Structure 1
């Protein structure tokens, strides 16, 4: 839920950004929950661009943002969300190209457990109601112009399915035990596909990776979640 609160809208579609919005995809997402979200109240969200990284001519640019969620009345911090957006055709603008932190390494042993969860064919249209109106997820023509066979599932929806697997497997659906999650988006999911999440537990840290068995492709990688035991 925290991931969809206080979103600033699809601001990269504003011509003033100079970004080719049709070539924009979600690269990474992190969510840190400081306390359980209230069931009612008013949330204050403050979003800022923290870094823009130039990957070079003919390559991409990485747009890093951070959003802080707080209770507007009490001022209590509720969650911190970090996101990396890949502007696939906007590299070479002359900005800095700095080394990125190494992603979370998955254990080399076999997964401790796996969870398969299906998605429905209208999943992207349903998730769109959360406020993410990027037509890449609804318009077949826009999706094809972006290089996809059909509209793809939102990255955050895919992450939500993986989060469901984690909550089901390790938290007995007690969301108060869920503290943080970070992941890289490595390939798109098409609505209607099954998402298999492989998980490794080391104490209160769960490493995970999600795949689509129908196409044998990894869609989420280098995942790391923190839970209360």
Structure 2
């Protein structure tokens, strides 16, 4: 299999039309650990229908195009693909229930060279199907570790967001449940790597691992808790690079640095002394514009 850059840039994605309701909103929030404290009313607003709010990172489970890179025509060895980066930009608040349309396209394919892999940049725009309003724009980078050297452009890769060298302004520790991956997979991603010990073992892991986007959601929780007073409308944009997987049941510690309406962050698992997210960046909406 060899990547054909022109073919990928013109990949025939079909729009994904998806209907969700309050149960899906609650399931997502529960799967990233919201509601761990049953008397924390701020967390309760994301897991109880009485005053339900949509969690800011919920868009990552909407409008997904499916396992398109499993198609042999893509030229990608899906077994060697890892999620490299994720960005969400929220344009409008998400309704508690709606039908959305996900429009996906491949923006660029970068050849890092033989033995160095390739980068595939995928954009997803999520629209409210009833109004046509753009709700969010997502950008994801897939690192195709086995697919470099196909002859594509080796253009410079954008530099990651720098995390300050000073001590963090905030530190938030959030626990994951042993069954976190089993819960999170019910949102959209049924990859057996997150459920089947045999599949995880064949991939070199001691047990099924947490979805990277679940870790991303936990980091979003830390941002809401530390600098947004749990107000989802404050969060305009969030981006991060994935560094290492998390095992369900581990504690994720998020260090945050705030500079006005910009927040830098990094996440780690102290039990294993590993970074799991790096070069994190969030942009806040100012209070007076809410």
Q: Deviations over 1:194-226 (max 9, x none)?
A: 100000000011100000000111110010001
Q: Deviations over 1:4-58 (max 9, x none)?
A: 1111112222232232222211100000000111122211110011111111112
Aligned partners of 2:152, 2:204: CA distance in 1, in Å? 26
Q: Normalized against structure 2, the TM-score is what? A: 0.76
Aligned to 2:267: 210
Gaps of 5+ in 2: 1-57
Q: Deviations over 1:41-91 (max 9, x none)?
A: 211110011111111112221111000011112111110000001112121
Kindly state the Cα deviation for residue 157 of structure 1 after the two structures are TM-superposed: 0.3
Aligned to 1:33: 90
In 2, are the aligned partners of 1:10 and 1:133 still within 8 Å (CA)? no
* Structure with more strand by fraction: 1
Gaps of 5+ in 1: none
Asked whether 1:18 is paired with 2:75, we answer yes
Structure 1 segment 103-118 matched on structure 2, within 5 A: 103-118=160-175
Residues matched between the structures, number: 229
**CA RMSD of superposed structures (Å):** 1.3
Structure 1 segment 39-78 matched on structure 2, within 5 A: 39-78=96-135
Aligned partners of 1:11, 1:144: CA distance in 2, in Å? 25
The structure number with the bigger radius of gyration is 2
Aligned to 1:179: 236
Which range moves more in the overlay, 3-12 or 137-146?
A: 137-146
Q: Residue 98 of structure 2: SS of its match in structure 1?
A: coil
In 2, are the aligned partners of 1:22 and 1:136 still within 8 Å (CA)? no
Give the alignment partner of residue 128 of structure 1, picking from 170, 179, 185.
185
Which range moves more in the overlay, 133-142 or 113-122?
A: 133-142
